[in-house]
Amino acid sequence: MIEVIYILWLRQLKHYWRSKARLLGSLGQPVLFLVAFGFGFGPMYAKASGGENYMDFLAPGIVSMSILFTAIFSGLEVIWDRQFGFLKETFVAPISRAEIMLGKTLGGASIAMVQGLIVFCLTYVLGFRVPGLRSLGLGLIFMFLIAIFFTGFGLAIASKMKDMHGFQLIMNFLIMPIFFLSGALFPLENLPPAIYFLSRVNPLTYGVDGMRGAFTGISVFGIYNDLAIVGSLSALICMVGAVLFSKIEA
């Protein structure tokens, strides 16, 4: 089992590093958000909040956005493998589909983590700072759980689809609301009731809030409440994905 998971994990990482255009292209949007929002809205945020730095608030949200986008599109590889026959070859191997699902989830999550760490390093260039190693370690845990959840989510949806374009449409329809309603760009306090409710049922909200709490001490729901929720949801989506993946037809 460990060998199979390692091979699938390594295969996804190799594809990622070979695609330099994909690596560079995926950094464009986070950098744009950091520069445009960080420096554009920074003075207004500082004035409204009594002098707080908007980059400290924004950076965890943009890191989570980078992880979200990379992780959830890992599901495209399942559709790609199905169309070109690699998935059929994998299924005839003497391993369970749950092991295949786990390997692909860990591979996709690792890629998303790498992407998130690159963006995290870029936030340091723009002035964001983490207070200590304990905060850094806790923040990395939240980054990994976000990567696991949305990789599993993308794979679960991809396991029920055969059309790559249809998957992209559904994901685009889901990704932007998930991101914008997570509190990544704006505080969750004093929102209209409908928006606040949507934010509370959004899984990414707790990942962003936990990461922000770990890195900056700003948390709405409490760091350990966020950790429990994101950890539970990550385990749940992996189980649901394993069930759906076990029924997939190559």
Mean pLDDT, the chain, integer: 80
Nearest to 116 by CA among 25, 7, 30: 30
Mean pLDDT within 40-50: 71
Q: Which residue has the higher pLDDT, 105 or 98?
A: 105
Q: Which residue has the higher pLDDT, 76 or 202?
A: 202
* Least confident interval from 88-97, 121-130, 173-182, 224-233: 88-97
- Please tell me the predicted confidence (pLDDT) of residue 61: 92
- Please tell me the predicted confidence (pLDDT) of residue 234: 93
Interatomic CA distance for residues 28 and 43, integer angstroms: 23
- Please tell me the predicted confidence (pLDDT) of residue 215: 92
- Between the ranges 66-80, 160-174, 205-219, where is the mean pLDDT highest? 205-219
Give the H/E segment covering residue 21: helix 20-40
Under the banding of pLDDT at 50, 70 and 90, the label for residue 170 is confident
Mean pLDDT within 74-99: 66
pLDDT at 53 over 60: yes
Under the banding of pLDDT at 50, 70 and 90, the label for residue 34 is confident
Under the banding of pLDDT at 50, 70 and 90, the label for residue 14 is low
pLDDT at 247 over 90: no
DSSP state of 210: H
Interatomic CA distance for residues 37 and 161, integer angstroms: 36
Mean pLDDT within 6-17: 54
Under the banding of pLDDT at 50, 70 and 90, the label for residue 48 is low
**115 in helix, strand or coil?**
helix
Interatomic CA distance for residues 178 and 167, integer angstroms: 16
